[in-house]
């Protein structure tokens, strides 16, 4: 398959990166607003509000953590474009079906390898549960 077939997917990845970076910025801003509010409320000192804000901040950090994982996946997929290996499975080197890439352009494993990896993780998890080292 000629590499230019994947050009629309590269656009998608670049768009996705912009979108996710925007979301990360929004979360960062949201937290700085929360910090500001906490400063103002030191006068009033409402412990219940502060607990709510801490929860909001933790939630925001968790969301940002997920977004950063996506950014890493997108960066890895874009790197594969540069390396000329985009569309090939990281694990077995077979072509990843185009339909899969259309849905998830940052995919770097074929379905078979992906489920193998998940299965291996599951098995090693089960083994560590059964016989703690
Ligand atoms: Zn594979």
Q: What is the pLDDT along the chain (133 residues), one digit of tens a residue?
A: 454 689 999 999 999 999 999 999 999 999 998 877 655 555 555 666 778 888 999 999 999 999 999 999 999 999 999 999 999 999 999 999 999 999 999 999 999 999 998 888 888 888 887 765 5
Taking the centre of ligand 1 as the mean of its atom positions, its distance from the CA of residue 83, in whole angstroms, is: 18
Taking the centre of ligand 1 as the mean of its atom positions, its distance from the CA of residue 12, in whole angstroms, is: 22
Taking the centre of ligand 1 as the mean of its atom positions, its distance from the CA of residue 128, in whole angstroms, is: 26
Taking the centre of ligand 1 as the mean of its atom positions, its distance from the CA of residue 117, in whole angstroms, is: 10
The residue written with tokens 């970076």 in the block is 21
d(CA 130, CA 114): 24
**Residue 16: which residues within 8 A CB-CB, separation 6 or more?**
70, 74, 105, 106
Q: Can you give the pTM of this predicted structure?
A: 0.75
Q: Among 40, 106, 48, 33, which Cα is nearest to 75's?
A: 106
Could you give the 3-state DSSP secondary structure of residue 125? helix
Instruction: List residues, by chain if needed, whose CB lies under 5 Å from ion ligand 1.
Output: 89, 91-92, 110, 113
pLDDT (0 to 100) of residue 133:
57
CATH classification (class only), 3-130: mainly alpha
């Amino acid at each position: 398959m000629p590499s230019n077939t994947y050009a629309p997917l590269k656009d998608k990845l670049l768009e996705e990166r912009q979108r996710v970076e925007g979301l990360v910025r929004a979360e960062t801003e949201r937290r700085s607003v929360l910090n500001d509010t906490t400063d103002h409320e030191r006068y009033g000192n409402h412990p219940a509000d502060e607990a709510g804000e801490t929860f909001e901040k933790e939630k925001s950090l968790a969301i940002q953590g997920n977004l950063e994982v996506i950014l890493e996946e997108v960066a890895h997929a874009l790197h594969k474009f540069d390396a000329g290996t985009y569309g090939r499975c990281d694990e077995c080197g077979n072509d990843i079906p185009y339909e899969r890439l259309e849905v998830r352009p940052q995919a770097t494993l074929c379905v078979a390898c992906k489920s193998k990896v998940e299965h291996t993780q599951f098995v090693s998890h089960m083994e560590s549960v059964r016989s703690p080292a």
